[in-house]
Amino acid sequence: MDEPGRTIFRTSWLNQNATVENGVAFTVPSGRYCQFRSPEILMTKSKVSVRQKILAAAQDVARDVGPGHLSLDAVAQRAGISKGGLLYHFPNKARLLEVLVEQHLQDFDAELCERERALKDTPNSLLVAYLELFAAELRRCQPPPSGILAAMAENPDFLVPIQRFHRVLLDRMKAGSQNENVALMVYLALEGMRSLRLFDVDVLTAQESDAALAALSGLASVRK
């Protein structure tokens, strides 16, 4: 039974047949979606450390040699472990790429939820949080998630969870916005800018990016 004031929502953006065992999203008392948890993160500290090292190495290798040329040998060498050690955590390349996608979504969702909670009394809080998160990525000069491109090159089906995640995210943005059309426009503009960076075809100068974000921020803060 749900705790008083807290709703447990079973999500399916990672797996269409997900159950409470492989995906739970919690909402805070206000009803806002808060966090996704996967049982794979419930591991010993040392095991998580090795897995994280492998995942980081896979991102680096995909960025250096191109997403279509990622190999388990190169990932193991970059992570500083044996190939057998890598295979203990990830039995094949497909599983490694699948977890890269899952982690990308979990990390993104966790930071988005944290920002949304900080903006809980702000109109259009989720939309503003999404905008702030993208701006923060630009300020940190954070490289695009090369693991996503590697997953796409290996098997386009690995991107299905991303599609589900973004469908749920957009629906929540529209539902929590004072103007659904504004939420849709801001979402599309930010995802367009994100795609330019992901595919390394970003033609915007820093000034143009700042101007676009300022305009989108003005839209997101407008009340009905």
Kindly tell me if the per-residue pLDDT of 37 is higher than 50: no
164-179 pLDDT, tens digit per residue, is 999 999 999 999 998 9
pLDDT band at residue 47, thresholds of 50, 70 and 90?
Answer: low
pLDDT for residue 3:
39
The pLDDT of 27-36, averaged and rounded, is 36
Taking a C-beta distance cutoff of 8 angstroms, is the pair 126, 172 a contact?
yes
Give the residue among 106, 108, 114 at the shortest CA–CA distance from 39: 106
Relative orientation angle of helices 180-198 and 160-176, to the nearest 10 degrees = 150
108-166 pLDDT, tens digit per residue, is 999 999 999 999 888 899 999 999 999 998 888 877 777 787 888 888 888 899 999 99
The CATH superfamily label for domain 43-91 reads Homeodomain-like (1.10.10.60)
Q: CB 7: neighbour CB atoms within 10 A? A: 15
pLDDT band at residue 66, thresholds of 50, 70 and 90?
Answer: confident
The pLDDT of 182-205, averaged and rounded, is 93
The pLDDT of 8-18, averaged and rounded, is 38
Tokens of 65: 């040699």
Judged by DSSP in three states, 136 sits in helix
The pLDDT of 21-35, averaged and rounded, is 36
The pLDDT of 93-99, averaged and rounded, is 90
List 10's β-bridge partners, or say none: 24
Kindly tell me if the per-residue pLDDT of 223 is higher than 80: no
pLDDT band at residue 75, thresholds of 50, 70 and 90?
Answer: very high
How many helices and strands (H and E) does the chain possess?
Answer: 9, 3
Kindly tell me if the per-residue pLDDT of 2 is higher than 80: no
Higher pLDDT, 67 or 53: 53
pLDDT for residue 221:
82
pLDDT band at residue 29, thresholds of 50, 70 and 90?
Answer: very low
Higher pLDDT, 190 or 11: 190
Residue 33 host element (H or E): strand 33-37
Kindly tell me if the per-residue pLDDT of 12 is higher than 70: no
Query: What whole-number distance in Å separates Cα of residue 127 and Cα of residue 170?
Result: 9
